[in-house]
Chains A and B, each alone.
Chain A
């Protein structure tokens, strides 16, 4: 199986502008930042949440708390055939009770990650509201889950992969559509 890059969906400046817009939309829809907190889903939701929080500081002058969530323990596809899943720490340094939480992830696909993330959140308490913000919505949902804040919706086929590359994790910053092809 070969992996070929088909097209670039977002450049670095486009990612930046999109995150600015998402920050504005979240603040607007939440009516301010008072009970707002962002939860980045490991791994690439984490830097995205940090950047959106930074943009919010520019809008409201307020530091919105940011937590990180590792969903490994809540996955529904742990099995024996694959390499060992590696756990990482979740770090949510504030109480989630009565908070207005926004889950942040890079790509929304089947919705299973978000299902797992919500299970993880509800182990910590009872937020007053949970919404979802993603950089890319690529369709093909397997769960009744939708995002309230979407950077960009993209039509994809199931063999395609969306790779969000961020400078905090990867060596470059852009979003690409790649395809798996038989040799």
Chain B
């Protein structure tokens, strides 16, 4: 057990931005989840405030409405000791017709150290990242991805299940419009999870079967009872009225055909987890009994969200330690003979620094 605790921490990655989970490898995703663990602990302290990012500023630019994600990133920043600047679309120059690029350039001119942004257009965060010299975290872009949500869902699942390997994941609802579903699929597919997508046919188009990495097991099922059979994790999605021109079903029909209730939940494995990214429409896609039941992870997801976002802000804005050595001068990971270990550590560090410049798809400049 001690050996476990002391396991070498030599493996590290440099991230320039966090725009999507799709380009990340299983090792990189595991690293991000592992780095969230210390911040989960801090949520349990009575004193939750660190000074690690003191003097840094995190710009929160939400061009699309958000309550929990904005509060979660804001809380994560303040618990790390950073300051925040807030831009909300409804009360901003965006309303007066300013272009996205002008708006973010204006924000950037106020010298934040990191930009967290949400936008109704898929690819908006990527576009901004290509035009700014500070790290950008995508807090949701259209129907593309919501990487921090994918990470916090995975962290919640890993904590409860012990591992992410080979789970049966059932996703219920409007999958075609869901960036949460996409981020979850991109992440969990890399750990060999199998997906069952279930909802009204127009929300579960055939094209979704191709969104995972090659060979990902994604099937579509249109009967909820069948979709829940053998599930380890059930991800319930909100019916997103703001992205719909016309709902495919009336609320009553949706409840009848696709609502997750206690009766239907019994078809899943007895220890199946229920996740919902929030905000929940109680009584529509999920019954209160399930939402508040022992299998529900909804509030854990919220708590873990802060830990994941603290880890992301720390990784993107704190930078590394000045030396890979303890401050007393002993070279940190030295598993082999004299001298060679030191050289290896330095080589590794250089290789990583160089590596991120050329071949990281999530570090696109």
Of the residues B11, B314, B323, B329, contact of A82 by C-beta under 8 Å: B323
Q: How far does the alpha carbon of A106 sit from the alpha carbon of B324 in the complex, in Å?
A: 16
Of the residues A82, A106, A110, A112, contact of B330 by C-beta under 8 Å: A106
B330 touches A161 (CB 8 A): yes
A46 touches B5 (CB 8 A): yes
A80 touches B319 (CB 8 A): yes
A171 touches B328 (CB 8 A): no
B327 touches A109 (CB 8 A): yes
B249 within 8 A of A: no
The stretch that binds A, out of B35-43, B162-170, B204-212, is: B35-43
A124 touches B319 (CB 8 A): no
The stretch that binds B, out of A11-19, A25-33, A55-63, A68-76, is: A68-76
Distance of B232 from chain A, by nearest CB (Å): 26
A81 touches B319 (CB 8 A): yes
Which bucket holds chain A's interface residue count? 35 or more
Q: How far does the alpha carbon of A86 sit from the alpha carbon of B327 in the complex, in Å?
A: 15
Of the residues A3, A79, A164, A168, contact of B339 by C-beta under 8 Å: A3
B12 touches A84 (CB 8 A): yes
B343 touches A3 (CB 8 A): yes
Number of interface residues of B (CB under 8 A): 53
A168 touches B329 (CB 8 A): no
With a cutoff of 8 Å between Cβ atoms, the chain A residues found around residue B52 in the complex are 73-74, 78
With a cutoff of 8 Å between Cβ atoms, the chain A residues found around residue B14 in the complex are 83-84
A123 touches B47 (CB 8 A): yes
Of the residues B37, B315, B320, contact of A89 by C-beta under 8 Å: B37
Residue on A nearest B48 in the bound complex, by CB: A123
Distance of A68 from chain B, by nearest CB (Å): 7
Q: Mark contacts of A155-183 with chain B using CB atoms, 8 A cut-off: 1 yes-contact digit, 0 otherwise.
A: 00000111111001111000010100000
A70 touches B38 (CB 8 A): yes
Given A3-B343, A84-B319, A85-B321, verify A77-B327 contact (CB < 8 Å). Answer: yes
User: What would 26 A/B residue contacts be, using CB atoms closer than 8 Å?
Assistant: A3-B338, A70-B38, A78-B52, A78-B322, A79-B319, A83-B324, A84-B14, A84-B315, A85-B318, A86-B11, A87-B37, A88-B38, A89-B38, A107-B330, A108-B328, A112-B327, A113-B327, A113-B328, A123-B47, A123-B50, A161-B342, A164-B330, A169-B335, A170-B335, A171-B335, A178-B339
Interface residues of A, Cβ cutoff 8 Å to B: 2-5, 43-44, 46-47, 50, 68, 70, 72-75, 77-91, 105-110, 112-113, 119, 123-125, 138, 160-165, 168-171, 176, 178
Besides the contacts A107-B329, A124-B47, what 5 more A-B pairs have beta carbons closer than 8 Å? A43-B6, A83-B353, A84-B320, A171-B335, A178-B339
